[in-house]
Amino acid sequence: MDRDEQTSGSNKPLWLLVIPVLALIFPALYNRETPTLFGFPFFYWYQLAWVFLATAVLGIVYKLTRN
């Protein structure tokens, strides 16, 4: 197996990193107050949730790309 085949196969999980970017890149989609969670407007808790979700995605990508 040559080097190009090895790198292209191991780069596929990196596409998962696009998910958090797409979820947060358009604030107009989540710029609203409802639904609230523990009194926090959707705008704030949505972004905070993505802090933890992005960490999970990064962990998954790390596990999948680790040699």
Residue with tokens 């947060």: 24
Residue 6: which pLDDT band, with cuts at 50, 70 and 90? low
Q: How far is CA 47 from CA 8, 24, 43, 54, in A?
A: 32, 7, 7, 10
pLDDT of residue 3: 55
Q: How many helices (H) and strands (E) does the chain have?
A: 3, 0
Between 17 and 10, the more confident residue is: 17
Lowest-pLDDT range of 11-15, 17-21, 24-28: 11-15
Per the document, the length of the chain is 67
The pTM score is 0.80
Average pLDDT, the chain: 89
